[in-house]
Amino acid sequence: MSDPYPPRPLIELGQITKTYGSGETAFQALRGVDLRIHQGEFVAVMGPSGSGKSTLMNLLGCLDTPTTGSYRYEGIAVESLNADQRSLLRRHAFGFIFQGFNLLARTSAIENVELPLIYRGTSRSERRALAAEALASVGLPDKLRNTPAELSGGQQQRVAIARAIVTSPVTLFADEPTGNLDTRTTREIMELLTRLNEEDGITILMVTHEDDVAEYAGRSVVVKDGLIESDRFRSRHQPAAQVP
């Protein structure tokens, strides 16, 4: 199938390698990865344990750096940035969602969502308004004062998603975002991510090992032994299993 996106990619990897350790103990997690991702895509990254998919996502999210190869984000040579510059890129262009939610336990939902804005130096009144708006957009307008212990797993993940989108990121990285959720809640979260992708235009890269979750993405990239084994487009957001 031909690439339906414009020729200039948002993300472009060229012969990316990542080696951990040295000498006899060296392990090459990525062995020359080429990948293009365009703005507005929803990409599922899949692969068995140890395949290199988590390493790939960490590199894409500027949480790690490649050993060799080139990484361009909106034309910026990311591999040449220093730690502070990569941090700035993460802060202003990326949002992150994790399997374990990573919420502060003794902090209210709205205060959890405000955290990225504090790092940006946003004023208290503005960040409070933006956080409330983000929580409303994920269906939690009445849970602003609740702590994580007072919320269900699905609600906690919605708070985590609100925190990830409160800065209006260009790209959202989701690491097993439904791994701790039941089937019904998984569907709700994936429908929410689909809406963020389709209506808000957020580019989403999602690591998952679940085929039914990957069905929501418009493209599946399978990583095996540090290389991309397959890369295919699909009919967008047609989940295989529906829950009554």
In what order do the strands lie in the sheet containing 11-20? 27-37, 11-20, 68-73, 76-77
Tell me, yes or no, whether 244 lies in a domain: no
- What is the domain count for the chain? 1
What pLDDT does 4 receive?
A: 54
Q: Around Cβ 120, how many Cβ atoms within 10 Å?
A: 13
Helical packing angle, 83-93 and 109-120, nearest 10°: 130
Tens-digit pLDDT profile for residues 84-116: 999 999 999 999 998 889 999 999 999 999 999
Tell me, yes or no, whether 4 lies in a domain: no
Per-chain mean pLDDT for the chain? 92
Return the residue matching tokens 């039941």: 182
What pLDDT does 237 receive?
A: 53
Answer whether residue 1 shows pLDDT above 80.
Answer: no
Q: Locate all alpha helices (DSSP H) within 94-152, ordered by sequence.
A: 109-120, 124-137
Q: Around Cβ 151, how many Cβ atoms within 10 Å?
A: 18
Tens-digit pLDDT profile for residues 136-163: 999 999 999 999 999 999 999 999 999 9
Tell me, yes or no, whether 161 lies in a domain: yes
84: left (phi over 0), alpha (psi -120 to 50) or beta: alpha
In which domain, by residue range, is 99 found? 11-233
What pLDDT does 242 receive?
A: 40
Tell me, yes or no, whether 241 lies in a domain: no
Tell me, yes or no, whether 152 lies in a domain: yes
Tell me, yes or no, whether 170 lies in a domain: yes
Contact 182, 5 (CB under 8 A): no
What pLDDT does 180 receive?
A: 86
Q: What mean pLDDT is predicted for residues 35-60? A: 95
Which domain CATH number covers 38?
3.40.50.300
What pLDDT does 24 receive?
A: 86
Answer whether residue 6 shows pLDDT above 60.
Answer: no
Tell me, yes or no, whether 1 lies in a domain: no
Rg (CA), the chain: 18
